[in-house]
């Protein structure tokens, strides 16, 4: 999902700053999705969750700011010390259930509850990363065969391909509590496919759970999501007199967790967000957020599409006036954009594996010549296909009696259509994304670019009234087909 940094907010408070990886918000659609999610995530208020304070979906490095939890994860705690005692386990189960209920009340699903997403603030659990897994699930990189989640904690219905629901979070809660009891998920270990198969069939091992928690955990792990209780029902059952967990301020019976971590249990109500981040969540409809301009996602996307169409119209008009020169320029631009796509994909892969590093720019510069060479063969194939389409369009226009320059305009339209949307054009479009988006989201300059491109198109079309087609560096068309169809000559 991203790389997390310890940072300080506007008032000096420690916060967790998560810089999202490129594949999570790869385009305007992903950034708009982040903006919508943050609006919901900021409504979650509970001492058992790491509240979301702020986010910047539209910056060069999109990020999310949350409360910083000073503690280790449940995964690390159990790995280093073994399973929790019965009283500590009940306290953990209730705290996590309260966190889950708060998240669901805000209309958010966690989608990836697991021991590493539970931080221990003393002996009190704090749930992190709620709702963010939805961004990766909705990413355009998600494809058939892509499994989002952690084996051993995924609900059976998700493995069958159904969408995640609150019942899936309840299942993951029960699996996490089971891990806390014995150091393993209820579906055991071994090969991933074996673990997934046990989860799909509901074959779990609950032998290390206390007897009073066993019925509830077993019901929450039911293969049928309809049979699982909701988060609020889980909280109510855990608070029942015969199985109540210690109140938040009470010292843990074993004392083990608090003594190890050296962090006091948090018993106060949720701390309000720092003053700079108080108030209702942003609507992300174009209002300024402090000093940061926020661009509406829909307007940016529409403007970007209009700029692309206007640029293609310039190329088509240029091809009708100077076919060889315009074709050569189109080839160079296509080669450049495909090279940029190769380099950007490689950079995204490196950052997805290792996170952003200072050496990224140096590596990108040193490897640029290789991407120039690697992008050439595909560019040649794409250009040849577009040229054949353009030639066919020009001949068709002449057969229909459109005249020389209108026939060339039809051919130019066919050329740019095949170049931009034809087979193998995906990398060309991806490579053009960054410069076009930079123009489309800049303040006012996007509209100026659009107006300028439209003016150039009109000027090229108007030039036909005062000058003939320029066939430079040749003196005439490649064949006489544009002056008279050769198959109709006597």
Angle (CA) 42 303 289, round 5°: 30
Secondary structure (3-state) at 390: helix
Residues labelled catalytic: 112
DSSP labels for 431-459?
HHHHHHHHHHHSTTHHHHHHHHHHHHHHH
- Using left for φ > 0, alpha for ψ between -120 and 50, and beta otherwise, residue 12 falls in left
Secondary structure (3-state) at 344: helix
Query: CA 332 to CA 324: how far, in whole Å?
Result: 13
C-alpha pair distances (Å), 426 with each of 27, 305, 419, 431? 14, 15, 10, 9
Among the residues of 1-42, which ranges form H helices?
28-41
Please, is 55 exposed, middle or buried when counting C-beta atoms within 10 Å of its C-beta (0-12, 13-18, 19+)?
A: buried
Max CA separation in the chain (angstroms): 106
Determine contact, residues 47/122, Cβ cutoff 8 Å: no
52-56 and 2-8 beta bridge pairing: unpaired
Determine contact, residues 394/482, Cβ cutoff 8 Å: yes
Angle (deg, nearest 10), helices 86-105 and 166-182:
160
- Of residues 16, 13, 18, the one with CA closest to residue 3: 18
Query: CA 158 to CA 179: how far, in whole Å?
Result: 20
- Of residues 330, 74, 80, 31, the one with CA closest to residue 177: 74
Burial 269-287 (b: 16+ CB within 10 A, else e): eeeebbeebeeebbebeee
Task: Write a three-state SS string for 61-124.
Answer: CCEEEEECCCCCEHHHHHHHHCCCCHHHHHHHHHHHHHHHHHHHHCCCCCCCCCHHHEEEECCE
């Amino acid at each position: 999902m991203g790389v997390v940094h310890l940072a300080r907010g506007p008032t000096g408070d420690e916060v967790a700053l998560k810089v999202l990886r490129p594949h999570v918000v790869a385009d305007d659609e992903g950034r708009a999705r982040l903006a919508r999610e943050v609006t919901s995530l900021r409504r979650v208020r509970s001492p058992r969750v790491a509240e979301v304070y702020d986010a910047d979906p539209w910056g060069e490095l999109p990020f999310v700011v949350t409360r910083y939890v000073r503690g280790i994860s449940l995964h690390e705690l159990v790995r280093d010390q073994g399973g929790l005692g019965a009283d500590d386990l009940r306290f953990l189960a209730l705290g996590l259930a309260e966190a889950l209920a708060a998240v669901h009340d805000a209309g958010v699903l966690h989608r990836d509850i697991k021991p590493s997403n539970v931080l221990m603030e003393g002996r009190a659990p704090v749930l992190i990363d709620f709702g963010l897994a939805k961004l990766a699930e909705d990413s355009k990189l998600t494809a058939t065969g892509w499994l989002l989640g952690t084996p051993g904690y995924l609900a059976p219905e998700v493995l069958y391909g159904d969408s995640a629901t609150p019942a899936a979070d309840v299942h993951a809660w029960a699996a996490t509590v089971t891990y806390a009891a014995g150091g393993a998920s209820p579906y055991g270990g071994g090969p991933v496919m074996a673990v997934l198969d046990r989860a799909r069939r509901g074959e779990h091992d609950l032998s290390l759970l206390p007897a009073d928690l066993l019925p509830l955990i077993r019901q929450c792990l039911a293969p049928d999501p309809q049979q699982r209780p909701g988060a609020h029902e889980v909280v109510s059952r855990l608070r029942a007199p015969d199985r109540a967990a210690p109140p938040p301020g009470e010292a843990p019976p074993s004392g083990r967790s608090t003594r190890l971590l050296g962090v006091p249990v948090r018993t106060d109500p949720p701390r309000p967000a720092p003053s700079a981040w108080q108030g209702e969540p942003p609507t992300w409809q174009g209002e300024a957020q402090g000093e940061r301009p926020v661009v509406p996602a829909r307007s940016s996307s529409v403007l970007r599409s209009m700029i692309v169409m206007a640029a293609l119209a310039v190329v088509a008009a240029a091809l009708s006036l100077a076919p060889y020169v315009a074709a050569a320029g189109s080839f160079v631009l296509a080669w450049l954009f495909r090279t940029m796509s190769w380099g950007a994909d490689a950079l995204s892969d490196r950052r997805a594996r290792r996170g952003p590093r200072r050496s990224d720019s140096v590596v990108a510069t040193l490897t640029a010549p290789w991407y120039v060479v690697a992008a050439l063969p595909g560019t040649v194939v794409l250009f040849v296909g577009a040229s054949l389409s353009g030639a066919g369009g020009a001949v068709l226009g002449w057969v229909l009696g459109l005249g020389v320059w209108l026939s060339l305009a039809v051919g130019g339209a066919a050329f740019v259509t095949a170049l931009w949307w034809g087979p193998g054009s995906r990398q060309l479009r991806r490579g053009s994304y960054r410069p076009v988006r930079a123009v489309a989201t800049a303040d006012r300059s996007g509209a100026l670019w659009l107006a300028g491109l439209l003016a150039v198109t009109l000027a090229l079309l108007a030039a036909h009234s005062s000058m003939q087609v320029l066939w430079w560096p040749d003196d005439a068309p490649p064949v006489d087909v544009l002056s008279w169809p050769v198959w109709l000559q006597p």
